[in-house]
Structure 1
Amino acid sequence: MKMLARTMQSWLRSGAPSTFARLFRLLYGASNVRIGSNFRCDSLPRCLIDPGAQLDIGDNVEFRSGVELRVHGKARLVIEDDVRIDRGVRILAANESVVRIGAGARIGLYSVLNGGDCIDVGEKSLISGFVYLQSSMHRFANSGAAIKDQGYDHGPVSLGQGAWLAAHVVIMPGRNVGANAIVGSNAVVTEDVEPGMIVAGVPAKPISSSRV
């Protein structure tokens, strides 16, 4: 029994990611889907890709279990080389948006990238767990109508190279976080964050003007 358990653990560590990656290629291989070399995944990702949309996964990309990718309309989702996406992450690209995850970036567990408009995640940036990047928001101009019937406003979101979003951060539509900036846990970013700035709070405010 111990030998069987060790064999199963070994397969889960090394065999399962390559097996699920082969299944993923078989199920989602199409002219609008490109999957680079050495792709690995702990379980079969859930993908919804419209015929007019594009999914581009680079080399040496790793998904943990429960990742969901949705690419709708004429949108494009680009996951560059050496990206690691943790358990339960959901990435949506819709309308005509481009959602790009830059090379070497890391996305923590159960984070959501909601790309009704463009989202750009810079190279080697860090997104911790339970982070929300929101590029669209329900309108609420007419107080006499249900919120769900009022449509959406959109604004692109960007995260600069080498930046770090700590756990439970929310980035609101139209906001930019500069290169090497840090956003503290539970912060809500309602204004642009300058490169190298450290911010925290609700709404997020600067607590340091330079990295230390």
Structure 2
Amino acid sequence: MDEFEKMQAGEWYCCLDPALDTRRLRVFDAVHAHNATRPSARGNIAPELRAVLGTAPDTARIEGQFRCVYGVNIHLGDAAFLNVGCVILDSGRVEIGARSMLGPHVQIYCADHHRDPKLRSELIERALPVRIGQDVWIGGGAIILPGVTIGDGAIVGAGSVVTKDVAPGVTVVGNPARVVTPSRES
């Protein structure tokens, strides 16, 4: 298997590989086109960016100053919304469910670097998926770590660092994120 195939399979791979560099450069150009296009002309997602994403329905929206690495691993549900400055390091599959909202500068990381310092110095990593259910709200500046699943209807407080799975319908806050009793506002 080549390094991209290893990455897609969730196996250990070397992240600095000429073929991966070529893939990333194509995506970086598409991201640049999206971010450089006037919002009135861009629509929900610029065509260049939409072309490199795995799944991006017409109703999904990505605001400017967005960043991603491979694009193909990003799968957006209907009416998913990514606010300004979101970063998705999508070496692994990233699913963002229908009607989920990510606040400004939310960061999603899939790369899990090797624990062995020698292998880490050789840039060996693996890609773990991140799954965000439907109707999730992730507050600005939150960080979602590799391998995390966030259940339907959950809320992640602004600035939280999510290191473990979040059950459906709960609210988590803090670093590391922990469950808090959700308020029942009417």
- Please give the TM-score of this superposition, normalised by the length of structure 2: 0.69
1:137 alignment partner AA: D
Say if 2:158 is the partner of 1:169: no
Gaps of 5+ in 1: 1-42, 47-59
Which residue does the alignment assign to 1:158?
Answer: 131
SS of the residue 1:113 aligns to: strand
Contact 1:112 / 1:130 at 8 angstroms: preserved in 2? yes
CA RMSD, 1 decimal: 2.9
Letter in 2 for 1:104: A
The residue aligned with 1:91 is 68
- In 2: Cα distance, 1:170 partner to 1:200 partner: 11
Distance, in Å, in 2 between the alignment partners of 1:103 and 1:70 is 17
1:155 deviates by 1.1
Identity %: 26
Structure 2 counterpart of 1:127, which letter? L
Q: 1:138 to 1:68 in 2, by over 3 A?
A: farther
Contact conserved, 2:50 with 2:56, CA < 8 A, in 1?
no
TM-score normalised per structure 1: 0.61
Q: Which consecutive residues of structure 2, in runs of 5 or more, have no partner in the other structure?
A: 1-31, 36-41
What is the alpha-carbon distance in structure 2 between the residues aligned to residue 159 and residue 148 of structure 1? Answer: 31
Q: How many residues align?
A: 148
Q: Distance in 2 between matches of 1:155 and 1:186?
A: 22
CA 148–79 in structure 1, closer or farther in 2 if over 3 Å, else same: farther
Structure 2 vs 1, CA of residues 83 and 61 (structure 1 numbering), >3 Å: closer, same or farther? farther
Q: 1:136 aligned to 2:125?
A: no
The structure, 1 or 2, with the larger RCO (C-alpha pairs under 8 Å, 6+ apart) is 2
- How does 1:60-209 map onto structure 2 within 5 Å? 62-63=44-45, 71=52, 77-93=54-70, 98-142=73-117, 145=118, 147-208=120-181
- Say if 1:102 and 1:211 are closer, same or farther in 2 by CA, change over 3 A: farther
Residue 154 of structure 1 deviates from its aligned partner by 1.9
Matched AA of 1:177: I
Instruction: Indicate the structure with greater helix content.
Output: 2
Query: Do the aligned partners of 2:73 and 2:91 also contact (CA within 8 Å) in 1?
Result: no
